[in-house]
Amino acid sequence: MTTKEAILNQQEINRALKYKQENKTMIYKRINDINTFASNLDNETYISGTDEHGNDITLIFDTIDLLQWIDTKYMKRQAKKYINTL
């Protein structure tokens, strides 16, 4: 194996390890106090509030993807079930 081949091989190994490490980390956050909602002409929707530790957090969504993905009828049914347990 030449030096160049060895370097390329090591770079491929490093990329694979980095990919594996990045995909292991899942971050879970809870937005407790939603205080800002905005959609703009760039097809972005912003939802801001504070997380479970009181830190400011903003989520930015592709508006069209968000509208296609969210099932509001299901969300309403689940919210009604929650309200009925109170």
Task: Quick: pLDDT tens for 32-60.
Answer: 889 999 999 999 999 999 988 899 999 99
Residue whose structure tokens are 């937005």: 31
Q: Cα–Cα distance between 32 and 22 in angstroms, integer?
A: 27
Return the pLDDT at 74. 92
**pTM of the entire predicted model:** 0.58
Residue 68 tokens read as 């296609």
Residue 47 neighbours by CB under 8 Å, 6+ apart: 31, 34, 36, 37, 58, 59, 61
Q: Quote the strand ranges of the chain, DSSP E.
A: 36-39, 44-50, 56-62
